[in-house]
Copies of this chain bind each other. A is one copy, B any other.
Amino acid sequence: MKAISETIGRQLAHRSVREFTDRAVPEEVLGALFEVMNRTATSTGLQSYSVIRVTDAGQRRRVAEVCGQEYVARATELFIFVADAYRNGAIARAKGYDGEEIRDMDRFFQGFTDAALAAQNLTNAVESLGMGAVYFGSILNDSRAIIEILGLPKHTFPVVGVGFGYPAQEPQLKPRMPISVKVFENRYELPEDFEETVAAYDEEMRGYYDTRANGRRSDSFSDQLVARLENTIDNRAKMLRVVREQGFELGV
């Protein structure tokens, strides 16, 4: 597909970059990236997220251990995005607010969404500068540990990590399921040829060489999916327990 803007051209070429050169990200670039994050749309203007830039080698190693991915520690820059109702709680209390709403799930999900939007806005900015990025959803393998490592206060919760820098690899574009099974008009409805579409996608995925797997050919999407489901990490399935430990009221 022909790109109709430079930004879209880069978005269509997006792939995760996991290995980076030694070149540092200049301070002025970091400053611009912080401003981009800060300008991201935010639910009802409340800016309910924070970002921890992890530079300390020991902390990076501990985060990488949670992720089970040693390259996490080697990313040139490592940002952890955090849903944050704590800061606004402090601001509201200084105004005399003494309610419980600061810890409800509305706040949690606003913060979670804000954090994810800011992460993607950062990724687009990073890629516009010839750098590459990778998401670390794996920080949630042990959200308690991440909270401890980063000193996250009550009413905050880690959402996702982003590693970025100047790319030292050029991975193959990873196949995606076609939009016909993902984008619907007016009502959710899988198309009649859903099974055939998945079968064709499974075949396409078998032709994909995963850079992470030392160039080994991939399993089909369906097989990867079942393997993922059968290897669910208990901590992740029970994440809401940690959300509650962080002082949020689940409201259930």
Q: Which residues of A are at the interface with B, using a C-beta cutoff of 8 A?
A: 1, 3-8, 10-14, 16, 28-29, 31-32, 34-41, 43-47, 49-56, 59, 82, 86-88, 90-92, 94-97, 99, 101-102, 104-106, 109-110, 112-113, 116-117, 119-121, 123-125, 127-129, 134-135, 137, 140, 150-153, 156, 159-160, 174, 176-179, 181-190, 194-195, 198, 221-226, 228-230, 232-233, 236-241, 244, 249-252
Contacts and interface: CB of A to CB of B under 8 A. Distances in A.
Tell me whether chain A's interface is mostly helix, strand or loop, or mixed: helix
A116 B90 CA distance: 27
Contacts of A37: 179, 182-183
Contact of A36 (B11, B87, B102, B195): B11
A183 B229 contact: no
Contact of A251 (B36, B184, B238): B238
A237 B252 contact: no
A137 B116 contact: no
A88 B177 CA distance: 11
B159 A225 contact: no
A150 B185 CA distance: 9
A176 to B, nearest CB: 5
Contact of A99 (B32, B94, B189, B230): B230
A185 B53 contact: yes
Nearest to A52: B184
Contacts of A198: 91, 94
A123 to B, nearest CB: 7
B97 A182 contact: no
Given A185-B55, A251-B240, A221 B91 contact: yes
